Amino acid sequence: MRIGTEEVRRVALLAHLALTPEEEKDLIGHFEKVLAYMEKLNQLDTGGVEPTAHAVVGHASLREDRVTNQADTTALLQNAPASESDFFKVPHVID
């Protein structure tokens, strides 16, 4: 399959790229190499191959959802300019 300048310009537009004429020529060569490789892959018989989403079948290892690092509020509020109860006190910013 031949790739032309128009296809390269369309891809560049979709990718928001500004290409020089030299870069367009280079990309035509790169695209043609990719398409030639894809054509080789299309010649392979994949009739007996099951579609897969992942190369390795595995399951997500889940752990129990529990707190393991309880915050010490007293230590956290020591450097606060102002606090009230167990909270940081900040200036009112919304009218």
Residue 72 backbone phi and psi in degrees, to 5: -90, 95
Q: What does the pLDDT read at residue 87?
A: 92
The answer as to whether 90 is a domain residue is no
Total tally of structural domains belonging to the chain? 1
Mean pLDDT score, 33-58: 87
The answer as to whether 48 is a domain residue is no
The answer as to whether 31 is a domain residue is yes
- What's CA 31's distance to the chain center, in Å? 23
Domain that holds residue 9: 5-42
The answer as to whether 70 is a domain residue is no
DSSP 1-66: ----HHHHHHHHHHTT----HHHHHHHHHHHHHHHHHHHHHHTS--TTPPP-S-SS----------
Q: What does the pLDDT read at residue 52?
A: 81
The answer as to whether 9 is a domain residue is yes
pLDDT digits (tens, 9 = 90+) for 66-83: 888 888 888 999 999 999
Predicted structure pTM score = 0.48
The answer as to whether 89 is a domain residue is no
Q: What amino acid is encoded at 69 in this protein?
A: N
Band (pLDDT 50/70/90 cuts) for residue 18 is very high
